[in-house]
Chains A and B, each alone.
Chain A
Amino acid sequence: MINPRAAVCLVLLMLGGGSRAALAAPLEDAAEHYRPYMIEGIGQALAGARDLRARIAAHDLAGAKTAWISARAGWERSEVFTAGFVPELDAEIDAWPNAVVGFHAIEARLFGAGSTDALGDADELVEHLDSLHQKLYGMVLTPQGLLDGTARLAYEVGESKADGGESRISGTSLDDMRNNVAGIDFAWRTIFAPALGAADAKLAEAVDLRIRELKVIVAAPDLPHIDVTALRRASEELVITLQSASAKLGLRRPTLEANLK
């Protein structure tokens, strides 16, 4: 039996791997342009969570649900960086399925049980999002980490939602996908598109094309009307195109799981 570590090396060697260092420096500046968007996205999630806490304290179930959805939108747009840059907070905020803390714990109470008995959970969510929000101002942003996160999220968007998806209790899995795609789009346009456009305009257009395809697909009226075959195809082709782009950008081929050591 082959050693698992050796097997990983073999897989990475044959299917991925390789590093370049030609264009990485200009991307450092571009990554800084992304920081305000990160702060805004998590800021929206934090504002939504604070509103959520207030609505829960007032036993306003309908208002709490609306606030949860608003907070969730900001979070899902930010998933380009959350898993890679703040994995511990990511796990606290977005644990699944029967989380005792985070969005999905509160989702089960509000949308599942129809109860506002989640004040403690809301307090913790606000605390975690506040902590994350503070970190964003001083966090070191690496282009590689952001490309990894963009590719990971692009792959995740193509996963089957036939079972109702991640936010099935609230019925907002499609909103999650739309916000994911918006997050991918913004990260791409802000950080990588200008540099790739200069290095390889055709490849940059290929990335743009796949993102546009994803936008059209997730614009379907509801989850059952998503063209699942087209979605998966567009998602995978986008990741492949981003992998090709990584070499042109002087970056390593993006990893598909955060914290792969």
Chain B
Amino acid sequence: MIVRRAWIAALALGFVAAGLVGRVAAFPVDGDQTTLPPKTELNEDALDKPREVFHSEIAGARSYMINLGDLAFSSPAILGGVARQAGVSCGTCHVNGAGNARLFMPKMSTRPGNFDTTGPLFNPKANNSVLDPVRIPSLRGARYLAPYGFDGRMPSLRDFVHNVIVNEFAGPEPSPDVLDAIVAYIQDIDFLPNPSLGAGGRLIGNVSESERRGEALFAKPFPHDPGLSCAGCHTPSGVFSDHQQHDVGSGGLFKTPTLRNADFNAPYFHDGRFDTYDQVVAHFDKQFDLGLSAQDQHDLVAYLIAVGDGVQPYERDGAGASLKEINDFTTVLGTAIPAGDKEIVSLAVDTIGGELRELTEQYPDRKDTSMSGGEQQRIMARSTLKQLVLTLRRIDMAVADGRTADASADYGNYRNLMAAAVPALLASAQPWSLFNPAVHDSHYAALRQVLQSKHMPH
């Protein structure tokens, strides 16, 4: 309950996206030589990342296909072209399967959290010459949310993913296995559990009076359109969607979005025009002449917050979280190396190596002016991570040459080190890493200070 009230306060102040996801304003892409437009914001340095819950982990371990899909989802090579050059992957927009509310790309976004899939940057052939971005959606619970696309134009998730890769991003035709794997991964991302939701989508447990009144209002027929109600489209259930397209006065027919975990899915509406539930409720009040009092609106917002909640929506990023993801990716090699699958081994080596290189930069080198101390610990962490990158590349080279036994030996060494030695080294360097909030803030403040000089009038 305390948590829920905190969310209400945050929503009322419009701080959801800006205040709880990252500690400080993130560092944008900048300079004259970048692939992405200057002032692009990817929010990659956020210390708190959306928590990802996998359906298959409830029953046991994740399958090879899910791990391969997760890996491919994080690989810029899958999207090809400009995205590959810029280091943009599916996971850049859908961080751990959740929407990236801070992502902003000049020419492709009109506000943080939306993106023009028919814009000029990634596939000029798909450019419709209109800046018409759509909200970056969360993929939590996607297996329940067909049809796909903001307008629900595609019944098949597989077709939708294929369209994103090949048409929206002009990426290379993915192999059937990789495409199936990405779909398997997306379909494995669960909603965050919400203990306040019971059977039939009813609020249960310690429900406030305001929430209960909101629940009744939600189901109440609209005064001037008795065939309509909030619950008519957002059907109270495990999904809170009727899977249909409707015109709610926002410029066309759009698919009913789920309300599950929606507290963490701002901005709202197909184009992300609203920051808060208050704005959403006010829109419906006006559009359908609902005649809601201030109390009614407050109660509906309280209800939406209760429905849209989820357990532990964010988790602190750190070496442990990074290594877990990297280890999940690496399991793919355990299958691909013995099979001599050059394509998958290369994909895995390029992707995991990229992740390890990014992790290396979490431990600033000795020339970084924004910090001091822990020099030997940082050097040891950096050196070890670089050695791991090279070990993976040796594996790639060995598999390419048909030396599967050599690759397997290197893979065994790599796994042994990742089991204990590497976590210990990174833990010893953690106080002087960008995972330490003080170091993080100091480092990015230094970068921003330099870049601000570029944008000051002179």
Contact = CB atoms under 8 A, between A and B. Distances in A.
Nearest to B452: A112
Contacts of A14: 413, 416-417
A171 B32 contact: yes
Q: How large is the interface on B (under 10, 10 to 19, 20 to 34, 35 or more residues)?
A: 35 or more
Nearest to A161: B33
Interface in B26-70: 27, 29-36
A16 interface: yes
Given A224-B34, A236-B393, A15 B388 contact: yes
A11 B31 contact: no
Given A15-B387, A160-B357, A233-B393, A257 B382 contact: yes
Contacts of A98: 369-370, 446-447, 449-450
Interface in A211-250: 222-226, 228-229, 232-233, 236-237, 239-240, 243
Interface residues of A, number: 64
Q: Among the interface residues A16, A98, A159, A239, which one has the most CB atoms of the partner chain B within 10 A?
A: A98
B107 interface: no
B197 interface: no
Centre residue among A94, A115, A224 by max chain B CB count within 10 A: A224
Contacts of A108: 450, 453
Contacts of B382: 256-257
Candidate in A8, A111, A259 with the most chain B CB atoms within 10 angstroms: A8
Contacts of A224: 33-35, 85
Contacts of A259: 366, 375, 379
Given A100-B369, A229-B84, A236 B390 contact: yes
B366 A87 contact: yes
B34 A11 contact: no
A227 to B, nearest CB: 8
Contact of A164 (B30, B368, B375, B394): B30
Interface stretch (B125-133, B152-160, B286-294, B421-429): B421-429
A229 B346 CA distance: 11
A255 interface: yes
Contacts of A223: 33-35
A228 B87 contact: yes
Interface string A91-123: 100111111100010001101111100000000
Given A108-B450, A256-B386, A162 B87 contact: yes
B3 interface: no
B380 A8 contact: yes
A182 to B, nearest CB: 19
A15 B383 CA distance: 11
A243 B376 CA distance: 23
Interface string A180-221: 000000000000000000000000000000000000000000
B353 interface: yes
B384 A94 contact: no
Nearest to A112: B453
B458 interface: yes
B33 A164 contact: yes
A171 B384 CA distance: 31
B350 A229 contact: yes
A228 B84 contact: yes
A255 B383 contact: yes
Contacts of A169: 31, 450-451, 453-454
- Max chain A C-beta neighbours (<10 A), residue from B35, B354, B394: B35
A175 B36 CA distance: 19
Interface in B401-436: 413, 416-417, 420-422, 424-425, 427-428
Contacts, number: 187
A159 B387 contact: no
Contacts of B417: 10-11, 14-15
Contacts of A173: 31, 33
Interface string B360-388: 00000111111000011101101110111
Contacts of A229: 77, 84, 350
B228 to A, nearest CB: 48
Contact of B389 (A8, A226, A236): A236
A163 B386 contact: no
A35 interface: no
Contacts of B383: 8, 11, 255-257, 260
Contact of A115 (B357, B376, B458): B458
| Residue picked from A96, A109, A113, A225, most chain B C-beta under 10 Å | A96
B380 A16 contact: no
15 contacts: A7-B384, A15-B390, A94-B367, A96-B367, A97-B446, A97-B449, A104-B450, A109-B453, A168-B32, A169-B450, A223-B34, A224-B34, A228-B85, A240-B390, A256-B383
Interface of A: 1-4, 6-8, 10-11, 14-16, 87, 90-91, 94-100, 104, 108-109, 111-115, 155, 159-165, 168-169, 171, 173-174, 222-226, 228-229, 232-233, 236-237, 239-240, 243, 255-261
Interface of B: 27, 29-36, 77, 84-87, 350, 353-354, 357-358, 365-370, 375-377, 379-380, 382-384, 386-391, 393-394, 397, 413, 416-417, 420-422, 424-425, 427-428, 446-447, 449-451, 453-454, 456, 458
Given A14-B416, A112-B456, A174-B33, 14 more contacts: A14-B413, A109-B453, A113-B458, A115-B458, A155-B390, A164-B33, A169-B454, A171-B31, A228-B84, A229-B84, A236-B390, A257-B382, A260-B376, A260-B379
Shortest 6 CB-CB contacts between residues of A and residues of B: A164-B31, A168-B31, A112-B453, A171-B32, A114-B458, A4-B428
